[in-house]
Structure formats: C-alpha cells, structure tokens
Amino acid sequence: MQKLSQQTGYILADNYKYVADIYNQLMEKVDYKFWAKYLYKLASLYNDKNSIVLEVAAGNCRLADHLSDTFKNYIASDISISMLKKNESLSFQKVCCDMTILPFKSGFDLVICAFDSINYLTNKKSIQNFFTQVKNILNEDGIFLFDAALEKNSFKHQKYASKKGSSNGVTFNRQSIYLQPSRIHKNIFEISYPDGRKFIEVHKQKIYPLEFYFEALEKSGLYAIECFNAFTFRDCKPSDLRAQFVVKRKN
Ligand SMILES: C[S@@+](CC[C@H](N)C(=O)[O-])C[C@H]1O[C@@H](n2cnc3c(N)ncnc32)[C@H](O)[C@@H]1O
C-alpha cells in the first residue's frame, strides 16, 4: 500500500494535474542522481543518516528516491496529489500539502525545497509564510536547503521557448514566456491524450532578485550560512542561473 496522506481542512490546488503525466519526459535531461548527490554533500556537513528530513514541493519524488537511500526518516510532500501519486516507492512517506501551511509541528533536522519550487510562490507574503513555517518546524541545529531560479535562467529559457514531446501516447507542447517588467515566468502546456482530450495548464513562477531572499529569511528568524552558485561551492552572484541556499535558524 502507498504511504500517501493528504492535508485536511484546506483546498489544495492540483497545479500539476496534467503535467504530472509528462513530467519525466519533460525533465529527460535533468540528472537527478547528480542533483541528489550535490544536496547530499551539502546536507552531510550538518546531518547524518538518522536525520529527520522533510522535502517540500517534491513533485514526483525523483530526488526523494535517491536521498531516501541515505536518509531513512524521509517525508516527501507536494501540493499536487497527481505528482505524488506518480511515485510508487514504499521507502518514504508522502504527504500532499501546501508548503506555506505545513501540517507538521517540529522536529526536522533537514528541510529541502528543490528545483525552483520556491519560485512557484508568486508573492512575497507567501515566501514569508513559507520561511516562517520552516523556522517553526526546524530543530535548533537543523538546516534548510533551497534553490531559487534567477533572471539569467529565465533569459536562457526564452531562447528555447518551445518544447514538444510525448510520453505513453500523451503529447505536450510547452511555451515559455518571461515577462521581465513583472518578473513573472510563465510555462504554458498544451497536453493531448490519446482519447482526444486536450488540456491547457499554466505554471507561473516569480523570479525574485537574489537579495530579496536574504531579507525574507532575516524577517522569518532564519539566516543564510551559505549561498552558492547552484551545483558548486562558490558564492552565488546575482548574474548566475540559480542560487543554492544553506539556511539555519537564528534561535
Ligand atoms: C518544478 S517542480 C519541482 C518538483 C521537484 N522538486 C523536482 O525536483 O522535480 C515544482 C513543484 O512545486 C510544487 N508546488 C508548487 N506550489 C506549491 C506549494 N504551494 N506547496 C507545495 N508544493 C508546491 C508543484 O506541485 C511541483 O511539483
């Protein structure tokens, strides 16, 4: 039986309902094993295999598949039930919940939010809520790893704005648009099923300036001990593609 539970009392937006069917194909070039190793390297400076881990916005749990090999107390969560259901692993628990209203009290040694998922929080208030939730559930010595897409990443995607593909007979066409004045990056998916059904799913991300995250962390009682250019151990610059934060509680 799947270890999957759902947050109650809230209406959770299944914002990846159709993209869940083509997600692996869409991410065919993403090396999750490499990504998980990088996160493990960061985490292992502060955590051991007994650490209690929460991953938020885990999607279909590709990182959790790798990281739960080491961390045996692992919960993967996401707002999209369709994404979580795509993963059949019994090695970790899955909880469908909104990362801005976490249904957990405390006791986590490590919280992970990966692959631009924070950019799905499109207003500053929800980022603040998320950080406050993380602060509340993190142990005194716990760490919080999150990455954030920066503007250069959006400009890069503009160059390859459309992508087509198919997975088990489900075809997709993605258009990517970066609206620089509002810093909103939209991915518009047209998804067609073999039985003729067609759906449009729009994913909206906000591309915050790098310094915003430092201010928001500070306001929530957290601070960045490191901010790396993602996948490296060198300090991040605002002109990099993606920032990798290593965060602690101020206590
Ligand atoms: C780009 S995907 C990344 C998924 C996964 N981390 C990965 O590495 O493949 C972004 C994920 O964020 C989730 N998400 C968006 N808003 C969320 C929220 N408020 N709470 C929890 N998950 C959310 C989406 O459902 C989606 O699975």
Q: What pLDDT digit, counting tens, does each position of 63-76 carry?
A: 999 999 999 999 99
Provide, rounded to the nearest whole percent, the portion of the chain with pLDDT above 90. 91
User: Is the shortest distance between the CB of 100 and ligand 1 below 6 Å?
Assistant: yes
For the chain, which residues make up each domain, given as ranges?
4-149+208-249, 152-205
Mean pLDDT, to the nearest integer, of 184-210? 97
User: Is the shortest distance between the CB of 98 and ligand 1 below 6 Å?
Assistant: yes
Checking if the pLDDT of 228 tops 60, the result is yes
75, 77, 79, 81, best to mutate for ligand 1 pocket (most atoms within 8 Å of CB) = 79
Q: What is residue 106's DSSP assignment?
A: S
- CATH number for the region 152-205 comes to 2.20.25
**CATH architecture classification, 4-149+208-249:** 3-Layer(aba) Sandwich (3.40)
Q: Which atom of ligand 1 is nearest to the CA of 27?
A: 9
pLDDT of res. 6:
87
SS3 for 28-49 is CCCCHHHHHHHHHHHHCCCCCC
Checking if the pLDDT of 18 tops 90, the result is yes
Q: What gap in Å lies between CA 113 and CA 230, rounded to an integer?
A: 13
* Whole-number Cα distances in Å, 233 to 9, 38, 39, 164: 41, 10, 11, 34
Q: What is the pTM of this model?
A: 0.97
Binning the chain into helix, strand and coil, the percentages to the nearest 5 are 30, 35, 35
pLDDT of res. 106:
84
pLDDT of res. 11:
82
Residue 102 CA to ligand 1 center (angstroms) comes to 14
Q: How confident is the model at residue 1 (pLDDT cuts 50, 70, 90)?
A: low
Checking if the pLDDT of 244 tops 90, the result is yes
77 or 13, which is more confident? 77
- The mean of the pLDDT values for the chain is 95
